[in-house]
Amino acid sequence: MSTSNGQPVVWIWRTPSGQAPRRFTVAGAERAQAFHRTLPGYQPTPLVPLRDLAAMLGLAALHVKDESGRFGQQAFKVLGGSFCLHRCMEENWDLREPGAPQPAAGCEPLPGAGVAGAAQPSRTVVTATDGNHGRGLAWSASRLGLGCVVYLPRGSAPERVEAIRALGAQAVVTDWNYDETVRFAGRQAERHGWVLVQDTSWEGYEQIPAWIMQGYTTMGLEIARQLDRPPTHIFLQAGVGAMAGALCGFFADCYAAARPVITIVEPHQASCLFQTARHDDGRLHRVDGELRTIMAGLACGEPCHLGWEQIRAHAGCFVSTPDAVAATGMRVLGNPAGADARIVSGESGAVTTGLVYAIMRDPALGDLRRQLRLDGQARVLCLSTEGDTDREQYRRIVWDGLY
């Protein structure tokens, strides 16, 4: 344990097993990207070189993947939901009633889709979300003329709720935390005959989350093609670990023997992967309670087992951070050094950059810096997974200095 600005930063090391099913490969990412290229508005999101910040921190290079412009939905999550629905259609899953017309690509949603009291589509997809996955799924469902119901945990930001409703979906805030909301969404799917499209997995529920995770590898493929040289270090934020697991598997396949050091980053109040790695007893470990953190996208207490199998195989460092680290990252990215480009990053998106900044600037984190071998030869990759999806909170943090 050490401290950063008076707040604890905790880390552990474990030797990656190197053994995991090859679910998330370069070939699979090419298939996912080929689909995403068919969607209106697709283009690779920027991989931003922060040269002046890297020089300030004593790093050879620092790149940040900026997902704030992905399909106009401000987060990478739309990659997973859209690819999953595409694969469902390819496999002839019953997303629509027999004989129902299939909308053409780029179609408008059915009139009244997701609006109470209006004519409903023939089938409905349902999910639980902190905001970004639900928004991405609502966008994808609307293109296919599917109904969409999205449940959010208590305390969800009103702006995130309204963004989902604006896409024609029903959005309902529950009285529970994220994990209980996931279970409720599953019960509602069974009760109403809806299709559960959840971005986490459990025993008996693997195919849909696997397709969602494969959709995320489009982001990894873009990164690999945007970089001139492979990174030596990758920092991945994690909630349930679906995105982190998918990219761990992808980068292991992409870079083979030159695999980077991968660090998994979570908030203190929802560090289920950190706890699973710490116990290292072959079981998944959950975190219960309120899961109170500003990093809403990472406020998940139960690991995705498909994600963990990849993370266990390929990640070597696990870090649990206070909210202040994410807030610092938001301010660093929003107020760039020298001639670096500005990146508007939300709480969950900025935590990895905030952590790199803290490791390189805080003497109390010197042991972690040395263990990671973050020095003048290090080429670091971070992901800004979301933009300012809660603009009021963004201003409180970046303008007013909250946390």
Last residue of a domain, one of 173, 198, 223: 198
pLDDT at 33 (0 to 100): 98
Confidence of residue 92 (pLDDT cuts 50, 70, 90): confident
pLDDT at 101 (0 to 100): 31
Burial class (CB within 10 angstroms; exposed 0-12, middle 13-18, buried 19+) of 187: exposed
Q: Are 68 and 82 within one domain? A: no
Q: Are 227 and 300 within one domain? A: yes
Q: Tell which residue, 121, 140, 101, has the closest CA to residue 192.
A: 121
At 380, which CATH number?
3.40.50.1100
d(Cα 76, Cα 65) in Å, to the nearest integer?
10
**Structural domain range at position 164:** 78-198
Kindly state the percentage of the chain with pLDDT values over 70: 91
Model confidence pLDDT, tens digit, residues 185-204:
999 999 999 999 999 999 99
Confidence of residue 4 (pLDDT cuts 50, 70, 90): low
- 130 given a catalytic annotation: yes
Burial class (CB within 10 angstroms; exposed 0-12, middle 13-18, buried 19+) of 176: middle
Of 65, 66, 94, 130, the active-site residue reads: 130
Model confidence pLDDT, tens digit, residues 42-65:
999 999 999 999 999 999 999 999
Average pLDDT over residues 383-395: 98
Mean pLDDT of the chain: 92
**Local structure of residue 232 (DSSP, 8 states):** S
403 inside domain: no
Sheet containing strand 170-173, strands side by side: 170-173, 147-152, 124-128, 195-196
48 inside domain: yes
Sheet strands (E) in 300-399:
317-321, 379-384
Q: Are 134 and 272 within one domain? A: no
d(Cα 146, Cα 95) in Å, to the nearest integer?
8
Give 35's Cβ-side CA count (13 Å radius): 27
Confidence of residue 109 (pLDDT cuts 50, 70, 90): very low
Q: Are 219 and 350 within one domain? A: yes
pLDDT at 146 (0 to 100): 94
Confidence of residue 6 (pLDDT cuts 50, 70, 90): low
Report helix, strand or coil for 102.
coil
Of 77, 323, 340, 390, the active-site residue reads: 77
203 inside domain: no
326 inside domain: yes
Q: Are 62 and 90 within one domain? A: no
Does the CA dihedral 398-343-311-379 come out positive or negative?
A: negative
Q: Are 22 and 127 within one domain? A: no
d(Cα 42, Cα 29) in Å, to the nearest integer?
15
273 inside domain: yes
Residue 402 has pLDDT above 80, yes or no: yes
Residue 118 has pLDDT above 70, yes or no: no
Last residue of a domain, one of 198, 226, 250: 198
Last residue of a domain, one of 198, 221, 253: 198
Model confidence pLDDT, tens digit, residues 316-335:
999 999 999 999 999 999 99
98 inside domain: yes
Q: Are 234 and 348 within one domain? A: yes
Burial class (CB within 10 angstroms; exposed 0-12, middle 13-18, buried 19+) of 174: middle
Give the count of domains, the chain: 2
Q: Are 364 and 247 within one domain? A: yes
Q: Are 369 and 243 within one domain? A: yes
Give 194's Cβ-side CA count (13 Å radius): 25
Q: Are 212 and 104 within one domain? A: no
Average pLDDT over residues 95-124: 39
Q: Which residues contact 147 (CB under 8 A, 6 or more apart)?
A: 113, 114, 120, 121, 123, 124, 125, 141, 169, 170
pLDDT at 392 (0 to 100): 97
Q: Are 59 and 189 within one domain? A: no
214 inside domain: yes
Ranges of H-type helices in 96-206: 132-144, 158-165, 178-192
pLDDT at 123 (0 to 100): 87
Q: Are 372 and 281 within one domain? A: yes
Q: Tell which residue, 358, 361, 373, 336, has the closest CA to residue 49.
A: 336
Residue 108 has pLDDT above 50, yes or no: no
Average pLDDT over residues 215-227: 98
Model confidence pLDDT, tens digit, residues 247-305:
999 999 999 989 999 999 999 999 999 999 999 999 999 999 989 999 999 999 999 99
Locate 243 and state its tokens. 């995105």
30 inside domain: yes
Q: Is the overall model pTM greater than 0.75, yes or no?
A: yes
